[in-house]
Structure 1
Amino acid sequence: MTPDRRTVLAGLAAGPALAASGLAFAQQLPRIATGTPQAPVEIGFDPEPKGLLDKETIELWPEGRVPGSAGVSVTRKILQRGSPERNDRAVMHVTRPILEVFRPARPNGAAVVILPGGGYVRLAIDKEGAGGGLRMAAAGATAFVLNYRLPGDGWAAGYDAPLQDVQRAVRLVRAQAAEFGVDPARIGVMGFSAGGHLAAASLTRFDDAVYEPLDALDQTSARPDFACLGYAVMAIGPRPGQFQGPLNAAAQPLTERVRAGLAPTFILHAADDRTVPVANSLSMFQALKAADVPVEMHIYQEGGHGFGFSLPPEAPASHWPDAFEAWARKAGIFG
């Protein structure tokens, strides 16, 4: 039985108590309309890993060598949530993980691997994926939107399957940094909601051996050089009988994995988020601060959950990408 988004997020740890979207984003991917959402409509099966905006794509794993794939029989599917004008598509049942590449007109040498959310059930590849790719490219960073595997699809590694993908993605970008025109010491991760949990796992568990090395690429470090955690879940609670794979270390709050020497981190959240309470971000901020890890946090009074890069410009929380960019420039990440 595949869990729904609220079921997955219900087990999160309680813990202690930018978007000026950019001209390119506004032109290519209009913001999601407000109003009552319509039921998702299936718009196609797509077993081939094609880019969803006709973007350059890279397959993450050698053909036939995706870890733990024995017995996985799902087919990749794309859902349109609401009218096509909403630009709010979702991908389900990823079997061949890909990176969608967004190259900037004026590269600043930074790279960011973007991890859309969706409760580990689907991937919000527009408002938290392509929207981020366009916005980061407008800021000069080379962006890679990761279509990662979802744990309910029967992967042997369970919740470590998406971590396998993000570790491999960081290694791939670092190993091919010269080809992409990026600095191998300025490669970060950015994630939202469940994708934020995955980004936090990449930050704190980068040195966990979650899969057997396949090739020389896997000798490259998976450590991100910076992280952006958007309304991120900090732990996934066990739900007996609900998941088709083990929770692995995902059941441990990621705040407990924080230690000195982790990458500088930017955190954003809305105080009125009813899906992932802001206590998650507050607890991570406190843990990073206690470990002397450079961290900046922005909490907005309003914004709800899942806004990504979709808020109208009059919403204060829409300006978080500007705050992130300013932070990244001051830290030397964006040059």
Structure 2
Amino acid sequence: MTLDRRTLVLAGLAAPAIGGVARAQSSPPLADLPGPDEEIDLWPGAAPGMPAVPPREVIIDRSKDHAFQDRAVEHVARPRLGIFRAARPNGAALLIAPGGGYQRVVVDKEGNELGRWLSARGITAYVLTYRLPGDGWKAGPDVALADAQRAMRLIRGRARRDAVDPERVGVMGFSAGGHVCADLATRFARGVYDPVDASDRLSARPFVAAPIYPVQSMHAPLAHPGSRDLLIGANASRALESAHTPAENVPADAPPFFLCHAEDDATVPVGNTIELRAAVRARGIVAETHLFTEGGHGFGLRSVVGKPAGAWPDLFLAWGRMRGFC
């Protein structure tokens, strides 16, 4: 029997993990599958701290394979959440911050694909299209963190509507979105915006945090130059670098971490994850860590199918069950 690419993708989508056993990672869905069940704005009216010249949002289709969508959003003007509701919710919710080097938000490859995968397994997923620090927002390097904090609070505020346990809301992020994730997990209590409604009285602390191949350090040589320059500027001081390096800001009440990176990542060195793990463990906090010899950067779900690194999503689910998350 010959299995073509389409057959393999469909078979993977139909085969979620069963019971408590971690299985090989399933293939992501095809491009013509549905998008989010609902999309909501993060902020009432315009987002706070709008630049004098508002950014003009652009959606770029980068697709090179008809089987997959690969869109990216640049100059985000309307930060928002795409909601993927679980057909059989187990109460867990996961905020997803896609990557894009702080130049764009890669909404399909590291967002919507994972949203569909998680919702098929009982977890309600919220894909975050966050504002970008290079667009001149008043919050500067804290603008994506402000959106992540606000998103966590909104999810908790609408937990009953979405069949979510407000205590079991986690965060996952990829590459620069991994920095958003780790920044939220370490600076969830930092005041980076003025409250706008009742949701802002709720906690922004995630139940678990999963930075995947994260941009993390802002110090050379570990820093990803493009992300660093857009976040804090090419001439940032050592103090500003430290203020935006999650490993240097881990509080005693940080959530448990799930960390994942490929050692052959030529874009964001694996040392980012190793440094973050050491800092988290030094605080006595759990840091489940998986390092794969191969996988490169930006693999998401689709680029490691059939490889050892392709096990990472099911490893996350197994760990999440052990931690009482899902």
Cα gap change, 1:288 to 1:185, in 2 (>3 Å): same
TM-score, normalization by structure 1: 0.82
Q: Tell me how many residue pairs correspond in the alignment.
A: 295
Judge conservation of contact 1:150–1:162 (CA < 8 Å) in 2.
Answer: yes
Q: CA RMSD in A?
A: 2.7
- Asked if 1:110 corresponds to 2:111, the answer is no
- Asked if 1:322 corresponds to 2:322, the answer is no
CA shift, 1:135, in A, is 1.4
Greater alpha carbon shift after TM alignment, 55-64 vs 264-273: 55-64
CA shift, 1:70, in A, is 3.6
- 2:270 corresponding residue in structure 1: 278
- Asked if 1:236 corresponds to 2:218, the answer is yes
Cα gap change, 1:175 to 1:21, in 2 (>3 Å): farther
CA shift, 1:255, in A, is 0.6
Gaps of at least 5 residues in structure 2 are 1-8, 16-25
- 1:80 corresponding residue in structure 2: 61
Cα gap change, 1:245 to 1:271, in 2 (>3 Å): closer
Judge conservation of contact 1:101–1:145 (CA < 8 Å) in 2.
Answer: yes
- 1:288 corresponding residue in structure 2: 280
- 2:182 corresponding residue in structure 1: 200
Paired with 1:169 and 1:74, the residues of 2 have a C-alpha distance of: 21
Where relative contact order (Cα < 8 A, 6+ residues apart) is larger, the structure is 1
CA shift, 1:84, in A, is 5.7
Aligned AA (2:241): A
- 2:20 corresponding residue in structure 1: none
TM-score, normalization by structure 2: 0.84
Q: Percent identity?
A: 46
Cα gap change, 1:63 to 1:102, in 2 (>3 Å): same
Paired with 1:214 and 1:233, the residues of 2 have a C-alpha distance of: 30
Gaps of at least 5 residues in structure 1 are 1-18, 31-51
Judge conservation of contact 1:139–1:325 (CA < 8 Å) in 2.
Answer: no
SS in 2 for 1:234: coil
CA shift, 1:166, in A, is 0.3
CA shift, 1:87, in A, is 1.7
Judge conservation of contact 1:255–1:283 (CA < 8 Å) in 2.
Answer: yes
Greater alpha carbon shift after TM alignment, 113-122 vs 231-240: 231-240
Judge conservation of contact 1:226–1:264 (CA < 8 Å) in 2.
Answer: yes
CA shift, 1:142, in A, is 0.4
CA shift, 1:321, in A, is 0.2
CA shift, 1:259, in A, is 2.9
- Asked if 1:23 corresponds to 2:17, the answer is no
CA shift, 1:312, in A, is 4.5
Judge conservation of contact 1:160–1:250 (CA < 8 Å) in 2.
Answer: no
Aligned AA (2:49): G
SS in 2 for 1:273: coil
CA shift, 1:80, in A, is 1.5
Judge conservation of contact 1:235–1:250 (CA < 8 Å) in 2.
Answer: no
CA shift, 1:274, in A, is 0.7
- 2:52 corresponding residue in structure 1: 71
Aligned AA (1:77): V
Partner residue of 1:160 out of 124, 142, 157: 142
- 1:8 corresponding residue in structure 2: none
Judge conservation of contact 2:28–2:113 (CA < 8 Å) in 1.
Answer: no
Cα gap change, 1:329 to 1:152, in 2 (>3 Å): same
- 2:301 corresponding residue in structure 1: 309
Cα gap change, 1:124 to 1:21, in 2 (>3 Å): farther
Judge conservation of contact 1:224–1:263 (CA < 8 Å) in 2.
Answer: yes
